[in-house]
Structure 1
Amino acid sequence: MSSPVHSNDHDFEIKPSPHLETQISTIKSPTSEENRQQGWFSNFKDGFKPMKLDNVDPNMTELEKANFIAASTPAERAMKPRHLKMIAMGSCIGTGLFIGTGTTLRTGGPAGILIAFFIVGIQVYCVIQALAEIAVAFPTSGSFVQYATRFVSAPFGFATAWIYAINWIIVLPLELVAASLTIQFWNTEINSAAWVVIFYFFIMFIHLFGAKAYGEAEFWFSLIKLVTVIGFIIFGIVIDCGGGPNSDGYLGGKYFHDPGAFANGFKGVCSVLVTASFAMQGTELTGLAAAETANPRKNIPSACKQVLWRIIIFFMVCLTILGLLVPYTDKRLMGSGSADASASPFVISIRNAGVKGLPSVVNVVIMLSVLSVGNTAVFACSRCVASLANQGFAPKIFDYIDQQGRPLGGYFISFLFGLLCFLAAYKDEDTIFTWMMAISGLSTLFTWSSIILVHIRFRHALKYQGRSTDELVYTSQTGLFGSYFALTLCILILIAQFWIALFPIGKSPNPTDFFHAYLTAPVWFFLYIFWVFYKRDFRPWIPLKDLDIDEGRREVSLVLVQQEIEEEKAYLRTKPFYYRIMKFLC
């Protein structure tokens, strides 16, 4: 069962945890012959029966049991490479880019948003590389939600996982309402509540068919978004060069000089940092889907590498074009709603150019983007809730996973809170939704910080236990230095957001604006302190010697994997230089 791995200095064996040696999980599912005999409907109905894990050792500790269940959960593994790559490329292209850039342009100016998104983009690349290394080594159900408890501490994992879950619980009803409001762009007389119902059941229908349906839906959603962004970049270059119907000639960098490159100086740039983090939320989903892809070693790194292209093309280039076409003083950037397409700088630039019909096309894409985020919210929330229940952080009933790998307990929670979308008919719904968003406003930064901290702890545990990165089938391109750098950026952004929350731009200090911008932090600390005293667990972290760095690895023979990697490297050495560069980046 164990396989020798040779390092440069000494030989040693990687031995899986004794629980994996002795406890073999079996899944009670029909054979292919039985499937043919029972018929489609019977198979579909039986798929909802609970997954069974036999022979789980009752002597395991809570942490060991959680790790064992996460490693043994038979996620459907239906995610194909094209699904993961498109999720990685398009998961964070949504309202944050199409709508949110209106606010960031107004508060930061065209140069301010480029600087802020560039800083966050570097941070995101370091985070996703760290996550790829851990997710390939441990493609467990729950991914980084599980890792925080395993490699840091139970209180830290409890607080971080719940903040992440709450974020996606809240996002679903918000996005359903936002999707219904996009219809108002065409001044339809149909009540928004009717569209809410349609979109609610549409997303529910997708997840009825599990991870494969989610991946397929996200593939097409993301493809449409990518085509739209690329088309807009080409359109923007033409317009900036004076090619539009209402063109006043060559624009060039006019708006960088008048009204200027920065709207509120350094403070304006700081205000954009958290918005940029929110816009790139979803990058970590490739790690959450780790257990649901057939070949994590090849699929996850390839998907994660493409984050670099997304940052360069779909954010930096696109934001540069927007800064060239729309001045930050444009009154229309003051849109009131999160789905107000008329406030989108994309729509404003198209209208300024006098191109008819395109604003409606962009609004359709905005609506699909909002639905895509809602679809993602269910996927992320359900896996997170199941992981919480496995770790003992939530009622046991929510760890119900059926024979098709669908976390039905997580689906129940997600769709139950999704019913909050019907608050859209309430007169004070704006106030309610604003405070709901405040709870999870900084959740992205806390999640990324936990991923980075897990990577740092994992690397130190390897070194402490006399192991090396030679046994890893994929290592982060940014290494340990990149993780320390990204963690430093997370801390600095949290400090900058605290400053902006305490002294908002154009306003006097007030508690309402402060908690709207910074409520996540006290909620996280409350959850952390609660678990510390509830479980009497006062350890800030698990000692390096006690960290389990074996259980949960899917690869059986690391020697064979290393041999395969060497063969791939040898093959690459025979290829031209440009091909090797492409493989390194993609």
Structure 2
Amino acid sequence: MSDDKNSNGVKRKLKTRHVSMISLGGSIGTGLFVTSGSTVSQAGPGGALVAYILMGLMVYFLMTSLGEMATNTPVSGSFAEYAGKYVDPALGFAMGWNYWFNWAITVAVDISTAALVMKFWMPNVPSWIFSGGVLILIFLINAASVGAFGEIEYWMSLIKVATIIIFLIVGVLTIFGIMGGGTAVGLSNFTYKQAPFVGGIPAMLSVFVVAGFSFQGTELVGITAGESDDPKHSVPKAISEVFWRIILFYILAIFVIAALIPYTSPNLLGSSASDIAISPFTLVFKRAGLAAAAGIMNAVILVSVISSANSGMYASTRMLYSMSDGDFAPRRFGKTNGRGVPFASLVITTVIALATFITSFAGPEIYLWLVAASGLTGFIAWVGIAISHFRFRRAFVKQGHSIDELSYHAKLFPIGPVLTLILCILIIVGQDLSAFSNFNWKEIGITYISVPLVLILYIFYKVKNHTKLIPLDQVDVKPVSKQTIDSEK
């Protein structure tokens, strides 16, 4: 094994700037550009801000938990490996397949969304042509090399970040009346009618769900750690930067939207990627007098969707690769080509994404269930990360180690894992409580199918392999250092 490979064989070609921007870009997508307006409509400006602030803090604590484990053991497909090493191999198996399935399905959703966005310019061209083109594009990017993936994802993420910065500048100038006709809006919309808090606690809880989906993708920093050229430096740096940028971008963006658009505006309701004209970003740009806002935002959202699909392909490929190394998947998926790309894992992930996309035409009902099956996967992954970190830290101390031995420390342990567990369980349970009151079993199944699927995977592996919860004094907490990597060559 050469010096630029990690302990499970993947080449370390992601630079620190790649890791930072990928983990940031993974959490900035249509959730911010399109659906963020609905949170202001549902809970009012105050309710939306409180929900995003609390969710942002939870995500930060979660990322520090992941960072502590990722700097100690930097591997691709980290979630499954950590769950398998620190908790129970059965949990690692369930977490890995659950996460792989989620991103493979998400790729199919993203390429479908890309086609809807392209309809803005070419409404008469069949959607499947656009979707097929995007799928081929992201396959080629991921097949080239991890360095090529990192560089392209870096620039796509940079476009999203630049758009938000411009939006914030334009928004603040409009609030003070410098742009948009010279009339200062100030904070009048924060006290308009029932604002700032609309709908009370139930409305705020519903916004937690939207905010949670918006922040999903930040955990990609754990995936990239395995291919970072300097994980002990790049991962902590990425976590710190991602926290501040997400808090600034999301909180300030919601603030600007809430200040300029009253929560009663019908344009904040029902936003979707197929109707870019009512994106809250578009509305703010138009209010500032920028007539070309719809076309510009459409291009940015297209980049955002392609970036999401690209990151999803990368994450699912590396997770499958990692599982083969841990005997959770067939060994053939653990082979890399001359460029260090796990090509077999990439191909099977692409095939599943393509098959899922085809079902949207051949069997819409099947497609609906497949998409639903991946709906709660991100939150389930967060729960797994929290449990794994709680067990890792307890085992580390129980085995006589000092926390000072860790190169990166999770903040305010055990607040992170505990807060993550509480909020994620609340979000998972609260997805669609009305379905239970009406006993709508189909709706319940579509909403919560992710949960029984994970349980089935967990029970299957546990029964088959007779696994048990690993005793704390037997948990493998030894760090993977450069010396360890060299000894495994």
- In 2, the alpha carbon distance for the partners of 1:209 and 1:137 equals 29
Pair 502,329 (structure 1): closer, same or farther in 2 beyond 3 Å? farther
Give the equivalent residue in structure 2 for 1:212.
147
Give the equivalent residue in structure 1 for 2:385.
451
Are 2:355 and 1:417 aligned?
no
- In 2, the alpha carbon distance for the partners of 1:498 and 1:200 equals 32
Equivalent of residue 461 in structure 2, options 525, 531, 534:
531
- In 1, the alpha carbon distance for the partners of 2:360 and 2:396 equals 54
Which amino acid in the other structure matches residue 318 of structure 1?
A: A
Where do 4+ consecutive residues of structure 1 move more than 6 Å? none
Contact 1:270–1:497 under 8 Å retained in 2:
no
Equivalent of residue 463 in structure 1, options 397, 406, 425:
397
TM-score (norm 1): 0.77
Offset at 1:438?
1.5
Give the equivalent residue in structure 1 for 2:168.
233
SS at match of 1:515: helix
Bigger CA drift: 187-196 or 171-180?
A: 187-196
Offset at 1:420?
3.7
Offset at 1:424?
8.2
Pair 306,518 (structure 1): closer, same or farther in 2 beyond 3 Å? same
- In 2, the alpha carbon distance for the partners of 1:516 and 1:353 equals 41
Are 2:480 and 1:553 aligned?
yes
- Give CA-to-partner distance per residue, 1:133-156, whole Å, 9 cap, x none: 111111123222211111100121
Give the equivalent residue in structure 2 for 1:439.
373
Pair 152,158 (structure 1): closer, same or farther in 2 beyond 3 Å? same
SS at match of 1:203: helix
Give the equivalent residue in structure 2 for 1:481.
415
- Give CA-to-partner distance per residue, 1:344-367, whole Å, 9 cap, x none: 211233334442012211111100
- Give CA-to-partner distance per residue, 1:78-132, whole Å, 9 cap, x none: 1111111212332211011111213333333322221221111111111111111
- Give CA-to-partner distance per residue, 1:254-306, whole Å, 9 cap, x none: 25423633443221111121221111111111111112111111111111111
For residues 45-60 of structure 1, the aligned pairs below 5 Å read none
Are 2:221 and 1:286 aligned?
yes
- In 2, the alpha carbon distance for the partners of 1:349 and 1:509 equals 41
Are 2:38 and 1:142 aligned?
no
Contact 1:259–1:328 under 8 Å retained in 2:
no
Which amino acid in the other structure matches residue 129 of structure 1?
A: T
- Give CA-to-partner distance per residue, 1:521-559, whole Å, 9 cap, x none: 12222222222222233x2x2111211122x6123299x
Equivalent pairs counted in the alignment come to: 485
Contact 1:185–1:342 under 8 Å retained in 2:
no
- In 2, the alpha carbon distance for the partners of 1:352 and 1:420 equals 42
- In 2, the alpha carbon distance for the partners of 1:420 and 1:102 equals 33
Give the equivalent residue in structure 1 for 2:321.
386
Pair 123,479 (structure 1): closer, same or farther in 2 beyond 3 Å? same
Are 2:460 and 1:544 aligned?
no
Give the equivalent residue in structure 2 for 1:192.
127
Bigger CA drift: 224-233 or 355-364?
A: 355-364
- In 2, the alpha carbon distance for the partners of 1:516 and 1:246 equals 47
TM-score (norm 2): 0.92
Offset at 1:207?
1.1
Bigger CA drift: 444-453 or 432-441?
A: 432-441
Which amino acid in the other structure matches residue 477 of structure 2?
A: I
Pair 320,398 (structure 1): closer, same or farther in 2 beyond 3 Å? same
Contact 1:116–1:272 under 8 Å retained in 2:
yes
Contact 1:95–1:339 under 8 Å retained in 2:
no
Equivalent of residue 522 in structure 1, options 420, 435, 452:
452
Give the equivalent residue in structure 2 for 1:327.
262
Contact 2:167–2:285 under 8 Å retained in 1:
no
- In 2, the alpha carbon distance for the partners of 1:513 and 1:241 equals 46
For residues 91-490 of structure 1, the aligned pairs below 5 Å read 91-186=26-121, 188-245=123-180, 249-254=184-189, 256-258=191-193, 260-335=195-270, 337-420=272-355, 422-423=357-358, 426=361, 429=364, 431-490=365-424
Bigger CA drift: 356-365 or 469-478?
A: 469-478
- Give CA-to-partner distance per residue, 1:349-387, whole Å, 9 cap, x none: 333444201221111110000000000011100011112
Contact 1:174–1:433 under 8 Å retained in 2:
no
Pair 366,501 (structure 1): closer, same or farther in 2 beyond 3 Å? farther
- In 1, the alpha carbon distance for the partners of 2:191 and 2:94 equals 43
Pair 399,129 (structure 1): closer, same or farther in 2 beyond 3 Å? same
Pair 238,210 (structure 1): closer, same or farther in 2 beyond 3 Å? same
Contact 2:48–2:204 under 8 Å retained in 1:
yes
Are 2:443 and 1:513 aligned?
yes
- In 2, the alpha carbon distance for the partners of 1:225 and 1:172 equals 19
Pair 250,100 (structure 1): closer, same or farther in 2 beyond 3 Å? closer
Give the equivalent residue in structure 2 for 1:502.
436
Pair 469,87 (structure 1): closer, same or farther in 2 beyond 3 Å? same
- In 2, the alpha carbon distance for the partners of 1:338 and 1:267 equals 26
SS at match of 2:482: coil
Contact 2:14–2:146 under 8 Å retained in 1:
yes
Which amino acid in the other structure matches residue 379 of structure 1?
A: Y
Bigger CA drift: 294-303 or 527-536?
A: 527-536
Which amino acid in the other structure matches residue 405 of structure 2?
A: E
Contact 1:172–1:414 under 8 Å retained in 2:
no
Pair 463,425 (structure 1): closer, same or farther in 2 beyond 3 Å? closer
- Give CA-to-partner distance per residue, 1:555-577, whole Å, 9 cap, x none: 3299xxxxxxxxxxxxxxxxxxx
Contact 1:193–1:425 under 8 Å retained in 2:
no
SS at match of 1:275: helix
Which amino acid in the other structure matches residue 469 of structure 1?
A: I
Contact 2:13–2:228 under 8 Å retained in 1:
yes
For residues 23-34 of structure 1, the aligned pairs below 5 Å read 26=1
Offset at 1:449?
1.5
Stretches of structure 2 lacking an aligned partner (at least 5 in a row): none
Aligned-pair identity (%) = 33
Offset at 1:220?
0.4
SS at match of 2:431: helix
Stretches of structure 1 lacking an aligned partner (at least 5 in a row): 1-25, 30-50, 52-70, 559-586
